[in-house]
Amino acid sequence: MSYSFKWSVLWSGQSGHWLLQGLLTTLELSALAWLLAVVLGILSGALRTVHFRPLRWLATSYVEFFRNVPLLVWMFFWYFGVPPLLPRGVQDWLFNHGAEFWAGMLALGVYHGARMSEVIRSGIQSIPRTQFEASLAMGLTTFQAYRLIILPVALRLIVPPATNESLNLLKNSSVALTISVAELTFQTRQIETYTAKAIEALTAGTLIYLVLCLSIATIMGRVERRFAIPGLIARVGPAA
């Protein structure tokens, strides 16, 4: 009367094909959402540190609004809440052309953008104020100072927490299955439906997520070493 494992369900029938499809959808969804999150994060993270109060206020409201509502709610918001605001014809077109995927991408990207923003703000605020003042003294405009001096330094400082955030984003992409996006977790459930072998299917999904996340962490580790600013942070060995 014990559970009998049957690992062959993972490569017999269509399982392998489904896992691959799920993996691709997860990667596609996460990559697009990540790009959106990074753009929104840099933008609002930078705006939260500028002098001009209305811009700061705008960025702060974005961050606080989007990071303090559960991701699941955002999924429903973009899928069920937004389309009724559009004309019927546009709605139908969207629903026939993967509205689920795009709603999931927006939910994930905008939500993680708000979280990424805080990471980037902390990077910016860790840079001595004098650097910004020195840039202005050199004749740069505020925009130039951010683009050429502040952000390039801040982005190098925040690689470890940004990696963390990126891994979270990848794993959170599974929430999109609630709005019918056939990503990796969805496909592992599908295998379970067909074979009634839940533990095997979940194990496969778990290992794929693990390998994905480890790969990302490794790549980001390289990026961190490659772009570390010599002298700014003592990464390894005794400080000079």
Rounded to whole angstroms, how far apart are CA atoms 32 and 112? 12
Q: Which of 155, 198, 216, 223 binds other proteins (CB under 8 A)?
A: 198
Rounded to whole angstroms, how far apart are CA atoms 225 and 223? 6
Q: Does 196 bind other proteins (CB under 8 A)?
A: yes
Minimum CB separation from other proteins for residue 89, in Å?
11
Residue 220 — φ and ψ, nearest 5°? -65, -35
Q: CB nearer to other proteins: give 68 or 96.
A: 96
Minimum CB separation from other proteins for residue 69, in Å?
18
Q: How many CB atoms sit inside 10 A of residue 82's CB? A: 14
Q: Which of 59, 63, 99, 145 binds other proteins (CB under 8 A)?
A: 99
Q: CB nearer to other proteins: give 141 or 206.
A: 206
- CB within 8 A of 188, min separation 6: which ones? 19, 22, 201, 202, 204, 205
Q: CB nearer to other proteins: give 43 or 202.
A: 202
Q: Which of 8, 12, 131, 218 binds other proteins (CB under 8 A)?
A: 218
Rounded to whole angstroms, how far apart are CA atoms 122 and 14? 47
Residues in the chain: 240
Which two tokens mark 95? 């629903």
Containing 15, the helix (H) or strand (E) segment is helix 15-47
Q: Which of 199, 219, 229, 234 binds other proteins (CB under 8 A)?
A: 199
Q: Label residues 60-70 b or e (16+ Cβ within 10 Å = b).
A: eebbeebbeee
Residues 2-41 that bind other proteins (CB under 8 A): 2-5, 7
Q: Which of 90, 148, 214, 233 binds other proteins (CB under 8 A)?
A: 214
Q: Does 96 bind other proteins (CB under 8 A)?
A: yes
Q: Does 73 bind other proteins (CB under 8 A)?
A: no
Residues that bind other proteins (CB under 8 A): 1-5, 7, 76, 79-80, 83-84, 88, 91-92, 95-96, 99-100, 177-180, 182, 186, 189-190, 192-199, 202-203, 206-207, 210-211, 214, 218
